[in-house]
Structure 1
Amino acid sequence: MASPEVCVVAIDIGTTATRYAYSLKHDYMSDPGKIVLNCDWPDGKNRYIHPKAPTCVLLKPDKSFHSFGLEAACQYTDLCEENEQDDWYFFQNFKTTLCNTMKLRRSHTIPDITGKKSLPARDVFAHIITYLKDDMVENVRKTIEHVDDDFFRWVLTVPDLWDVGAKTIIQEAALQSGIKEQNLIIALQSEAAVQFCDTLPEVEKQETGTEYMVLHIGAKSVDVTVQRTFGDRNQEKMFQNSDTILGGILTEDSFFAFLAEIFGTDVMRNFTTKCTWSAFDLIKDFEVKKRKITNVDSNPVKMSMPCRLFEMCENEFGTSIREHIEHTLYKGRIRTTADKLLVDLDIFKNVFTLPIKSAVGYINNLFKTDACKNVSTLLLVGGFFECILIQDAIRKNFPDKRIIIPEDSGLAVVKGAVLFGHSPPSVRYRVLRFTYGISTTRKFEPGDPIDNKVIVRDEEFCRGIFTKHVGIGQTVAIGETFETKKYRPLHKKPKSVTVRIFISSEDNPRYTTSPFSQLLGAIDVPLSSGAGENTVIEVRMKFLDTELICEACEENSTSVSANLRFPESENSDYDLKKNSEADIVLH
């Protein structure tokens, strides 16, 4: 018989790194901070002891799973060395293909490292989730007997920038991996980060009325949440936003751009494509250095360089690596010894110039907004802030703010997701990535598109008017039903009307025929026998975790609803010259 105790497992599949952590219910009840991180990963040669693994996966030619993380990178490197990689699938840095796009479909595919082959995103994520799930279950079963599927509650984190469709792909990937829907929670990274920060002693001791900002910077995204304490350790959400202008990947890109200046762009491109295991090894060493280097250091930075990188550079330029460096702009400031690169400290610090400038500028602009002007405390979480140089720059540029950087800054999301699984907040919020509305018809006006014109009862009308229900950037509570809007039929004796739901990347779109608008779905609403042009049609919208529910009905009648996730593949079925009999106008 299975144990009734619940084990909450959080999986954080990041752009560049993946983590998972868990805690048992009785441990959470006695000490919420008692969270176990998986720190044991296979790397193809030995065991890799670290709380995260690279987000990369290798699939066999038949598209079945082979390996994940460093083990996948190692195996793919071996295939490249033997020139046997063509039929295999190696994926890395693919998560951002799901970000903020109206064109996302359930069949969305992502390219492998070659860019020549692709597979459905859902299948790629399902392979990763299955691997992590099976590894987790195996670890638990070493110490606890007789656990079944209901013993676990799974929390998967997703970026705030993802819309309904992207979250649905992850949800379906999790179900494909064998996780039951009732045991699955999809949590925003910002939700998890805030949950983690709210347990910090520095936050718990804040005075009532204190406004504080949780700033989470991941690999390619920024999540901002502003909250206010109002007694008894409770918080009120004041502001929430997300963006893509900076992230940890900016630091990594700056580092590889620096290496390209030394070894050459072509050499670095071939190295990162064909020597994936060595490339990840290089990133690991860089991450160690960025956590240790301070502004008071003076000694050169000693970095381990993969021998294969030196070899590729020597083959490309026909000279020794030492002689090659003497002909670069870093002559006299960079030296080699065995497999080490000795870099003058000032040169190494330049790698962080752009990331620091971007972060400081972004935070400064936040404090200029009305929503953030009263913030007195800034909590910085995410791997981006594990760099001491970046920490010092934030403190220097914002001396009037209280800066809190938790010791486990890079693990805030995965640990917060575990806490979230044990105790989800009573009210959850989302910042909408698009404007939502429906297509209506009104009297034709000067400037309206001539293609939208239709004649009804000898009058000119304009079809395809975007009538806004909820705006882009608006913060909404999950499960909240928005104000009902009222419409009426365009024609005198309609048998039914069609409510067409659209999304737009514009704040105030005018027409549903705009290239910035996309048909999300439609509802056919049957009308009573006595319905006419003055019959009232009610339309309301409600947002859930992974879907939009739109309800429509004749006033005081049973509503018809649609659960919408992905945009329709085309808008072509909405012919502006036909079928206006089911159109509606604003009441």
Structure 2
Amino acid sequence: METDKPFMVVAIDFGTTYSSWACSTTHEHAESPTKMYVRQWIGGEHLSPKAPTTVLIRPDGTTLEAFGYAAEDRYAELVEEGQHKLWYYFKRFKMNIFDNCELSRHTMLEDITGKILPAMTVFSRAIEFMRNDFMTNYKSKLEGRIEDHNICWVLTVPAIWNEPAKQFMRQAAVTAGIRDECLRIALEPEAASLLCNYLPLKMFTISGSQSKFQTFQKGSKYILLDAGGGTVDITVHEVVGGGKLKELHKATGGAWGGIAVDGAFKQFIIKLVGEPIFHKFSKENTMDLLDLLRGFEVKKREMQLMKESITTFRIPVSLIKLYEKETGKVLKESIGKSEYSEKLKLLNDRLKVDSAITRGFFTKSIQNITTFVNTLLKSKQLEGVNSIIMVGGFSECQMLQESIVSCSPKLSTIVPQDAGLVVLKGAVIYGHNQDAIVERVCRYTYGIAGAMPFIPGVHKEEYRVETDVGPLCNKIFIKVVEVDESIKLHERRWGKYFKLNMENQDTYSFPIYVSSEGSPTYITDDGCRMLGCVTIADLDRSVPLKDRKVEMSIIFGGTEMEVEATEFHTGKKSTVVVDFLQ
């Protein structure tokens, strides 16, 4: 960044289902870290602090027409007018880069009709909208007192994302017009944890073993469960004091978020009316489909695990009429003759659903989460943990809260108010205090390829090479850091010297490898893969080749990996490019 103390921090929480931005000035943060402005969006007749992560792009394939609720409504209008076929409409597209081993700058995305655009275009247009929206809605209030270099932009990503996915998001933000040196990547559960440490106790709902509630005192340890729309991130933190935290267990989780519940509800409706009818309804009555799904989004937060109850959903009249037109049957009578006859009732457009059915919408997602939490609780790193803090939009669901309490009765289960905004607000705090996470745990073993003296009977013959100094074994995995190893913020590892090979050489490149195992032998072992490539450029050529050496250090402990190169004979730090994208 061009200044250590930016005038303002603007955070963008780019979610799978919902996104938004928030900001605060340095003065506001100093006055109270939780004092900030959160964007409000208009969705139907309601104000919402988040908007759907929905992008509508014009037929030219590059120009953004609308984002969020406006994109949903505009696309519905285009469908009703029969003018939508050439437009590009993307919903919930963030998961396309989750755990994608083939992610590249050229990765393509399909919209809901199968038309494709570069993923970089879709992501950058969404971020560009957020950037411009801030400029329009907030910057004008500052009366020209702020320039681009005075803003620290923070972009959130799940903690379980790999380096290529983080680099993809960074490049999308830069393409959107955010200065690279003014951009920081924040890990979602870490941002949430920072905010929670500033919230007063009255802003939490606490269940379970409440007598042990000492979560934010120095030395206390807790699980942070960030349940969003797409992914569920789980990490473990210890409070070290002074507003700082350290990670005790590597970030883990999976694709178990709220959209799995939405998908189960959708399949339930399809089973009632039949897939061809639902497909036709979706194409011809997009606005009614939106109302159906938006209504479920509200209802799913209220459903309870233990309570026997009836939940009422509004079924679009257009869907009921379409069913009757296509089948010649009355939907109410068909339900009465189905396997659901004792658990469903349709009264006009109100579908009354027994809790035995609604609980089923959550089964797969909640089972994945609770099973993982139970396994995690057996880990040695969790000794002394007394609380689980639940954040993220899906954590507002009472059924998920009750399930977490049931699977961990010895712990306090803590849910902050407005759990869906905790990551966004925490990202603003992170922008003001980027050194707040003082220690992290490696998710992988990192290393480079190398060679060592060949040992017959130990090394693979296929990797043997003859050299002037004797036989060597190639493709050895030279470990730099190990999975589950604790690394301090900005900790340098490796510090190896490389000699250059050619007189006119002014660049040097080498690949970085990762493994899920602790001590791989070869870069070709199962679980090993090339993560990316490091290139050092603009090397000095003014001295003889024999005197030209470069010291390499890999800097871990931050949200993104960094590499530093120093030329031995001049002390000059050379330009380094770490490229994780193909």
TM-score by length of 1: 0.83
Q: Which residue of 1 aligns with 2:294?
A: 284
- CA spacing shift, 1:228–1:167, aligned 2, 3 Å: closer
- CA spacing shift, 1:101–1:510, aligned 2, 3 Å: farther
Query: 1:100, 1:433 within 8 Å by CA — same for their partners in 2?
Result: no
Q: Which residue of 2 aligns with 1:520?
A: 532
The reply to whether residue 541 of structure 1 matches residue 559 of structure 2 is no
- Worse-matched range after superposition: 154-163 or 377-386: 154-163
Task: Summarize the alignment of residues 394-413 of structure 1 with structure 2, pairs less than 5 Å apart.
Answer: 394-413=404-423
Q: CA deviation at 1:404?
A: 1.1
Q: Which residue of 2 aligns with 1:574?
A: none
Q: Which residue of 2 aligns with 1:153?
A: 152
Q: Per the alignment, in what secondary structure is the counterpart of residue 60 of structure 2?
A: coil
Query: 1:549, 1:562 within 8 Å by CA — same for their partners in 2?
Result: yes
- CA spacing shift, 1:271–1:12, aligned 2, 3 Å: farther
Which amino acid in the other structure matches residue 126 of structure 2?
I
Q: CA deviation at 1:308?
A: 3.6
Q: Which residue of 1 aligns with 2:344?
A: 334
The reply to whether residue 115 of structure 1 matches residue 96 of structure 2 is no
Q: 2:578 aligns with which of 564, 580, 587?
A: 564
Pairwise CA RMSD = 3.7
Q: Which residue of 2 aligns with 1:34?
A: 35
Query: 1:106, 1:165 within 8 Å by CA — same for their partners in 2?
Result: no
Which amino acid in the other structure matches residue 361 of structure 1?
T
Q: 2:495 aligns with which of 484, 489, 504?
A: 484
| 5+ long unaligned stretches in structure 2 | 202-212
- CA spacing shift, 1:31–1:467, aligned 2, 3 Å: closer
Which amino acid in the other structure matches residue 563 of structure 1?
V
Q: Which residue of 1 aligns with 2:210?
A: none
- CA spacing shift, 1:331–1:480, aligned 2, 3 Å: same
Aligned length: 557
Q: Which residue of 2 aligns with 1:356?
A: 366
The reply to whether residue 23 of structure 1 matches residue 33 of structure 2 is no
Q: Which residue of 2 aligns with 1:463?
A: 474
Query: 1:204, 1:233 within 8 Å by CA — same for their partners in 2?
Result: no
Q: Which residue of 1 aligns with 2:204?
A: none
Q: CA deviation at 1:278?
A: 3.6
Aligned-partner Cα distance in 2 for 1:12–1:157: 5
Aligned-partner Cα distance in 2 for 1:5–1:465: 45
Query: 2:554, 2:561 within 8 Å by CA — same for their partners in 1?
Result: no
- CA spacing shift, 1:377–1:244, aligned 2, 3 Å: same
Q: Which residue of 2 aligns with 1:168?
A: 167
Query: 2:194, 2:243 within 8 Å by CA — same for their partners in 1?
Result: no
- Worse-matched range after superposition: 518-527 or 78-87: 518-527
Task: Summarize the alignment of residues 141-290 of structure 1 with structure 2, pairs less than 5 Å apart.
Answer: 143-150=141-148, 152-202=151-201, 206-230=216-240, 235-269=245-279, 271=281, 275-290=285-300
Query: 2:24, 2:37 within 8 Å by CA — same for their partners in 1?
Result: yes
Q: CA deviation at 1:142?
A: 6.1
Query: 1:126, 1:174 within 8 Å by CA — same for their partners in 2?
Result: yes
- CA spacing shift, 1:371–1:277, aligned 2, 3 Å: farther
CA deviation vs aligned residue, 1:209-249 (integer Å, no higher than 9, x gap): 32222221222222233223355665443233122152222
Task: Summarize the alignment of residues 298-309 of structure 1 with structure 2, pairs less than 5 Å apart.
Answer: 298-309=308-319
Q: Per the alignment, in what secondary structure is the counterpart of residue 301 of structure 2?
A: helix
Which amino acid in the other structure matches residue 86 of structure 2?
D
CA deviation vs aligned residue, 1:367-399 (integer Å, no higher than 9, x gap): 100111321111111112211122222223322
Which amino acid in the other structure matches residue 59 of structure 2?
P
Aligned-partner Cα distance in 1 for 2:58–2:110: 15
Aligned-partner Cα distance in 1 for 2:387–2:532: 40
Which amino acid in the other structure matches residue 127 of structure 2?
I
Q: Percent identity?
A: 29
Aligned-partner Cα distance in 1 for 2:370–2:534: 45
Aligned-partner Cα distance in 1 for 2:243–2:514: 39
Aligned-partner Cα distance in 2 for 1:458–1:513: 25
- CA spacing shift, 1:276–1:235, aligned 2, 3 Å: same
Aligned-partner Cα distance in 2 for 1:471–1:536: 27
Which amino acid in the other structure matches residue 397 of structure 2?
C
Aligned-partner Cα distance in 1 for 2:362–2:263: 10
Q: 1:133 aligns with which of 131, 134, 137?
A: 131
Query: 1:164, 1:548 within 8 Å by CA — same for their partners in 2?
Result: no
Query: 1:7, 1:153 within 8 Å by CA — same for their partners in 2?
Result: yes
Q: Which residue of 1 aligns with 2:402?
A: 392
Query: 2:6, 2:152 within 8 Å by CA — same for their partners in 1?
Result: no
Aligned-partner Cα distance in 1 for 2:247–2:135: 36
Aligned-partner Cα distance in 2 for 1:439–1:60: 46
Q: Per the alignment, in what secondary structure is the counterpart of residue 500 of structure 1?
A: strand
Q: Per the alignment, in what secondary structure is the counterpart of residue 484 of structure 1?
A: strand
Q: CA deviation at 1:401?
A: 0.9
Aligned-partner Cα distance in 2 for 1:438–1:472: 15
Q: 1:365 aligns with which of 349, 369, 375?
A: 375
Q: CA deviation at 1:467?
A: 1.9
- CA spacing shift, 1:275–1:458, aligned 2, 3 Å: farther
Aligned-partner Cα distance in 1 for 2:497–2:182: 38
Which amino acid in the other structure matches residue 40 of structure 1?
W
Which amino acid in the other structure matches residue 470 of structure 1?
V
